[in-house]
A and B are shown apart, each in its own frame.
Chain A
């Protein structure tokens, strides 16, 4: 299992387009991807799950991956959320 924390810094948080971008990205990995916010788990490969997280700018999110490519998944997803998501 691998984990990384990320702070959302884009303006709209994980809404709409940013949410779908992250889900698309998460689906590239074989590992199971979970996002954890305030002790609640969300499925990183599910748009509905990610939207139900209601994450906004400034929120801290723990990315957790379990599977063959877990290390790559958390490192790359963290970077993706920090650098690639623009509103």
Chain B
């Protein structure tokens, strides 16, 4: 069985199935409006008292920031618009409080559902939580609570309200499994802050298990093992111990600077493909976003995104990141990324074909819409633009010309934007790496896209299993191109980053650091580990070995040398 891992860690324990009694609301006419209003007020007082208790517990168990949720619950309960809405219904329609609450709640949920913002939409669950609490008190329904559970309990439920999760005793609960919810639901956020492993989205589990069943849950990959064998338990216990030791080391890196043992600072950023991914970057203490893939905007809705839609997406992303840099890569269609409605003809050799900047320069209307949207968003944060698949200076100049046109159009339209927005290119075609000195004179930064750079340099289709053994990031030619690119960038005074998988490869981080790479952008989960490696590397010591490394004959020689001479002496986690 499998769901989505939403809070890291491994939990082994006995199941407690948690079924909230369902609340059924019926509508009836009341005799006295005044009495009904008094009945409502006393329910509000009781609810306030309950939330206060939960708030105080969350302060201790989950921390100030997480406890704020329940402060918000209290504010909902005191909210003039909400409470007046309920009372008005009672006064004008002469109906019972429970029904009036249903009506007022539905109204606000509808308003919130209309707002294109994940955070606000997420508050819908909080409003439901508060309104159900009120209704339950009015109806006199007792809720199961978690106060008397045994150590090592794994809670299995259809769904948990944030206030349910907050009442969990983290010393006793070894994990949470729910059928509903996702990474951004409050229950998952609370589970993460309380260090309880959790898995969401496990369809049908509540009906399949009973109290006391043994279960293992893996909060990393969402795996679930029901009634495991003894061996299975042992194996997971080992994994759990390993993980906990590593975690301690990595947690020490949170909030630390990304600085080598001998004092060289770099930037560690995350690669993202949607706006929600930014949360992962922030959770993992990323210092920015080094690659924001924009294809998701084009895959949504089966039509081209409008300038307004794109602007809103980029603006939201920039606002989420604050002052941290956000590098937006313009549309990288083609290759392995197909967007059906663009009707790009099927090609025999798509990776070398009509894709990315080639498509955009051929469709300047589509391209400029995106450029205008990025520019407009640039006044809301620290946005930089990056062009993919550049192979010649002409392409770069043409792209920059269109960018200038987009700027003039915005000026005429009276839009605000950052006139001095940084412009960079992906270095992913060997020709550009070789010729990088010239390119560096005309851009503000480079970002080395290693996935494509490796496949183009070695002529290996990275999707082809038959030849996957040839795809090798240790290949001396690949390392040499990277070295050339970094050196040429620095000679022209620009910074050089990397946004391919190699940037997060723990075996190569020390070498890349020694080469002078300024920014490493990777899968957000790798950031703390990368920081750990960097803080344990003496850059100049590795630098002294660089010449030797780059002159080794084969990829295997390099991999072995790195292991024997550098990695072995580092406490790699």
Residues of A within 8 A of B (CB): 11-13, 15-17, 20, 23, 43, 45-49, 51-52, 54, 56-58, 87
A14 to chain B, nearest CB (A): 10
Q: Which of B71, B108, B315, B320 contacts A12 (CB 8 A)?
A: B320
Residues of B within 8 A of A51 (CB): 112, 120, 123
Chain B residue at minimal CB-CB distance from A58: B380
B149 to chain A, nearest CB (A): 31
A-B pairs, top 5 by smallest CB distance, nearest first, are A11-B322, A46-B81, A54-B115, A47-B75, A57-B319
Is B30 interfacial (CB 8 A cutoff)? no
- Interface contacts beyond A23-B75, A47-B72, A48-B108: sample of 7 additional A-B pairs, CB < 8 Å, sorted by A: A15-B117, A16-B72, A51-B112, A52-B112, A54-B117, A57-B381, A58-B379
Is B344 interfacial (CB 8 A cutoff)? no
Residues 278-319 of B at the A interface (beta carbon under 8 Å) = 315-316, 318-319
Chief secondary structure at chain B's binding surface: helix
Residues of B within 8 A of A56 (CB): 117, 315-316, 319, 380
- Given the known A-B contacts A56-B315, A56-B316, A58-B379, are A48 and B79 also in contact in the complex, defined by CB atoms under 8 Å? yes
* Complex contact A17–B76 (CB within 8 A): no
22 pairs of residues in contact across A and B, judged by CB atoms under 8 Å: A11-B320, A12-B320, A15-B119, A20-B68, A23-B75, A43-B81, A45-B80, A46-B81, A46-B82, A47-B75, A48-B79, A51-B123, A52-B108, A52-B112, A54-B115, A56-B319, A56-B380, A57-B318, A57-B380, A57-B381, A58-B315, A87-B322
Is B572 interfacial (CB 8 A cutoff)? no
- Given the known A-B contacts A13-B319, A57-B319, are A47 and B79 also in contact in the complex, defined by CB atoms under 8 Å? yes
What is the number of residues of chain B that contact chain A, defined by CB distance less than 8 Å?
30
* Complex contact B319–A11 (CB within 8 A): yes
Residues of A within 8 A of B379 (CB): 58
Residues of B within 8 A of A15 (CB): 117, 119-120
Chain A residue at minimal CB-CB distance from B122: A16
Complex Cα–Cα for A23 and B72 (A): 11
- Given the known A-B contacts A23-B75, A51-B123, are A16 and B111 also in contact in the complex, defined by CB atoms under 8 Å? no
Chain A residue at minimal CB-CB distance from B321: A11
Residues of B within 8 A of A57 (CB): 315, 318-319, 380-381
Q: Which of A16, A43, A45, A87 contacts B119 (CB 8 A)?
A: A16
B541 to chain A, nearest CB (A): 39
- Given the known A-B contacts A51-B123, A56-B316, are A20 and B380 also in contact in the complex, defined by CB atoms under 8 Å? no
Residues of A within 8 A of B82 (CB): 46, 48
Complex Cα–Cα for A56 and B318 (A): 11
- Given the known A-B contacts A16-B119, A54-B120, are A48 and B319 also in contact in the complex, defined by CB atoms under 8 Å? no
Q: Which of B76, B117, B315 contacts A48 (CB 8 A)?
A: B76
Residues of A within 8 A of B318 (CB): 57
Residues of A within 8 A of B381 (CB): 11, 57
Complex Cα–Cα for A49 and B116 (A): 16
- Given the known A-B contacts A16-B119, A20-B75, A54-B115, are A43 and B320 also in contact in the complex, defined by CB atoms under 8 Å? no
A47, A54, A87: most-surrounded residue (chain B CB, <10 A):
A47
Residues of B within 8 A of A23 (CB): 75
Chain B residue at minimal CB-CB distance from A24: B75
Chain A residue at minimal CB-CB distance from B115: A54
Complex Cα–Cα for A51 and B109 (A): 12
Residues of B within 8 A of A58 (CB): 315, 319, 379-380
Residues of B within 8 A of A46 (CB): 79-82
